[in-house]
Structure 1
Amino acid sequence: MTRHWTPLAVVYACLALTGLVGTWYFNALAIIGMTDFLGDLVSSGPAVSSITVDLLVVAVAGSVFLLVEARRLGMRFGWLYVVGSALTAFAFTFPLFLAMRERRKTELARAAE
């Protein structure tokens, strides 16, 4: 069996490892410090740092996917979704991209008929 590690697969694997190490580092600090994880969410502490790393890694991975997928489908200005996430929120731009992606896939499927 041959394993195929494309550059994109390596990027995603590195992001996964970063997410694991980054979040669990702060989770371990919370456990060692015997802090109230949920209580830290509303104040400060390792829980906030863990969630920050979590969301940051997801946003980076989602941005990579978004850019690659936009190019693959021939969607112009895919980079604007990434820039827009800095101005609004990734929670807005990523679902918006997914909606536009579905529209583009439907358009391509109809053109192929």
Structure 2
Amino acid sequence: MTRHWTPLAVGYAVLAVAGLVGTWIFNVLSVVQMSNFIGDLVSSGPAVSSITVDLFVVAVAGSIFIIVEARRLGMRRGWLYVVAAGITAFAFVFPLFLANRQRRLTALAAEAV
């Protein structure tokens, strides 16, 4: 049984790890400094607010894509990616989903042969 780890799937997985590590460094720093994480996102000026809105819209669109695409491909528990994004970071979850999506596409292509 092959695991279907294509170079593209591995690339997405590497991005997922980078997203997890990169965001959690700053999350932990925020907790250690006892800063108001949500307040800082929306009150530190227009540039930060712009980035916040930008990332929020991308996360919502990506979450919809995850649920729809997971259902289309028969991937079980696709909604868990969206839940995990709230616990970890969308920068981790979305590339992780893409890696597993690529693995599923590769498996489906292998079954069709």
Once the two structures are TM-superposed, the CA of residue 44 in structure 1 deviates from its matched residue by 1.5
Query: Unpaired segments of 5 or more residues in structure 1?
Result: 1-40
Greater relative contact order (CA < 8 Å, ≥ 6 in sequence): 2
Letter in 2 for 1:107: A
CA–CA distance in structure 2, aligned partners of residues 44 and 57 of structure 1: 19
Q: Provide the secondary structure at the position in 2 that maps to 1:100.
A: helix
Q: Which residue in the other structure is 1:110 paired with?
A: 110
Letter in 2 for 1:102: Q
Q: Highest CA radius of gyration, 1 or 2?
A: 1
Q: Which residue in the other structure is 1:47 paired with?
A: 47
- Runs (4+) of structure 1 moved beyond 6 Å? none
Query: Unpaired segments of 5 or more residues in structure 2?
Result: 1-40
Q: Provide the secondary structure at the position in 2 that maps to 1:60.
A: helix
Q: Which residue in the other structure is 1:98 paired with?
A: 98
CA–CA distance in structure 1, aligned partners of residues 44 and 60 of structure 2: 24
Q: Which residue in the other structure is 1:8 paired with?
A: none
Identical positions, percent: 76
How many residues align? The count is 72
Q: Which residue in the other structure is 1:82 paired with?
A: 82
TM-score, normalization: structure 2?
Answer: 0.62
Q: Provide the secondary structure at the position in 1 that maps to 2:77.
A: coil
Task: Provide Cα deviations, 1:66-96, integer angstroms capped at 9, x if missing partner.
Answer: 1100000000000000000000000000000
Q: Which residue in the other structure is 2:58 paired with?
A: 58
Measured on the aligned residues, the alpha-carbon RMSD in Å equals: 1.5
